[in-house]
Structure 1
Amino acid sequence: MSTELLDALVYLEKEKGIDRDVLIDAIEAALVSAYKRNFNQAQNVRVDLNLDNGSMRVFARKEVVDEVFDSRLEISIDDAHEIDPAYEVGDIVELEVTPRDFGRIAAQTAKQVVTQRVREAERGIIYTEFVDREDDIMTGIVQRQDHRFIYVALGKIEALLPLNEQMPNESYKPHDRIKVYITKVERTTKGPQIFVSRTHPGLLKRLFEIEVPEIFDGTVEIKSVSREAGDRSKISVHSDNEEVDAVGACVGAKGGRVQAIVNELKGEKIDIVEWSEDPTIFVANALSPSKVVDVQVNEEDKATTVVVPDYQLSLAIGKRGQNARLAAKLTGWKIDIKSETDAREMGIFPRDDQPLFSDEDMENSFSYPEDDIE
């Protein structure tokens, strides 16, 4: 084995973090296999690498016995005593059996082992780096696509963006820079495999954490997110600091913060609402941009009946029921929406024991861009 290879081992230990002793053990094990394979030897052998001069020697290991049945694995006590009188039955005698042309095979084998171990180490480093970034957001560059995936470069590795995780209102071209949400990191025989998403609600949450310092430092907390990617999302926020307007912090001056997120999501509408532990208030807020005049709560079934002005009914329900559906996901409550006229006919509105919501009550929510639900 050449001194260049030893120098390479030192370099790999420093630069790649691969323990040199681990590499040496791997090379020795591979050389044993190479010796048996190339020289048709089935005996018990050991390979010794001299780290000082780079030399390599092969030793056959034989057990000292009274009577030899297999000369490849055993040596008689008399023959052992010719080597060293101190040997006893049961001891192991090592005899050098290094082939004349084993150096070339050794160098080739060592190179293969080092290359393999370097590849495994690099894969391990990448896996360790990315497994800690699950549920995080990264910026990648679109490389190519096929019928199943879009391949997004995240540094040294390509992540997979499946078809069902792509936003329906987006098209992706090579060299496009996009933000993706890491959903899963798997260790495979071919290295780490990373799956990313553009539709996951976590992407919206991370984007707000990036754009809104008050969320990043914990002053404002994101309580829940519901999303139908590419079309509309809702996010509920809250602050324990009474002096902080949680919704306003997310909106930003002249809507600058939320607009940056909408731009990143290619025009996806975003409703930002104030979270409340009171389900009547939370459900009313969640139905933004619709106005609500009454919320009746059934705690046992975790269901609500919401009354809205007649002219607001279609807005509250939304296109194909989207607004009501997203509000239900955001709050975790079932929502049944009634117009004022229907509620009066059913005798459930108005209620003497419950004050109606006013326009001021609905100011703690924000929709961007301005809504056009019919």
Structure 2
Amino acid sequence: MVNPLFYSTSEDKPKQLEISFASDPTGQLGAQLNTNDRSQTSEMFCPGYAAIGRLIEGNTVARRSGVEVGDFIVAVNGVGFRRFAPDENDEDDELKDGTSEVGEALSPEELALRKKIKAKVVPTGQPGEAYGALLGSIKSIKGAADPANPLLLSLERHGWDAKSNSWPRFLVARDGNVPDAMMMLQTHEAWREKTFPIDRSDDMIQAVLKSRAVSEVDAEVDGFFPTLYVNFSALQRLEFVESAHVVDAFVMLVETVLARQGDPRAPRLCQLIDLTGVGISSKLRIDVLKHVYSCFEPNYPETLEKMVLYPVSKYLASTCNMLLSFVNEKTKKKFVITDSLATVCKELGWPLQKVEAAGGVSEYIEAQAIAAASLIIEEK
């Protein structure tokens, strides 16, 4: 039976990952590390001082072990290198069953000691000091090449909307003002608690999804991001649907798209507002736009790469800007208002010839849509 409830796609509880070099003592991790030890405010919720910044191609230890970009290194050979202690609810899965990271049976006393050592907090000192100590520990163990003490890295994986990854985005959204960013983050957390789960079996939400009024398509050119597509002509035909239902459908798509991004620290998406067949001055459902924006801007800050409004002639561009006066200036800088299909394809990473062959934007979306279809509950 299909579960009708849609939960946030960002995990609340971090996942633990142990990487042992026992079978490959001289092997390289196969990843580029990023430091989180620069004494910057954006790092305050990072649990460790080093994170995986990039995976190197090839059959590396990291790839074989399932390491992903954004994973934090929090311990080396069972000794913690943490910025702060783990939450009690985030107890290490590897030690929960009474065994060590390598499967050794532990007495209650040994288990308690192992947990304490692994949760060790390394105080921040001079910039780079803790990061350097972590690298030094790794190099020392690797250099010793002791078969009885192979390198063992403990990593934590946090969701894209966890504070460790989302805090820098909230900070940027509030121009580095920590109190304002903290208030924004706390308001977002309260919103998440109230919003999820969403009952996607709701008839009105399903009507929005099945109408293709909102859907999503991947870019077909490297270096571009997925696009959330809003078909306002389709929305116009859903007169019985309230804006709240459109927002719920939109939120589920946003969550689905952002969860698929390769880097939880910087998930991005584009938006295309298709105004084909919609009167820009009289028929545009501004109430829906306002409701969607009032949800997206404070809860998914710095995830919008660009917003394309099409087709809008250059003569109506100023009118369109006035109608969207409720949008903040930072977001307006990401607007692309155009009546050129070539510009749309260029901005979103779509092949122009393929879109033209499909018959236009809406037809191309219909053929390419991904996430919306996965959210639709088919009647039996």
Whether TM exceeds 0.5 here: the answer is no
- Larger C-alpha radius of gyration, 1 or 2? 1
- Report the TM-score range of the alignment, normalised by the length of the smaller protein: under 0.3
TM value normalised by structure 2 = 0.24
Q: Which has the higher strand share?
A: 1
The structure showing larger relative contact order (alpha-carbon pairs under 8 Å, at least 6 residues apart) is 2
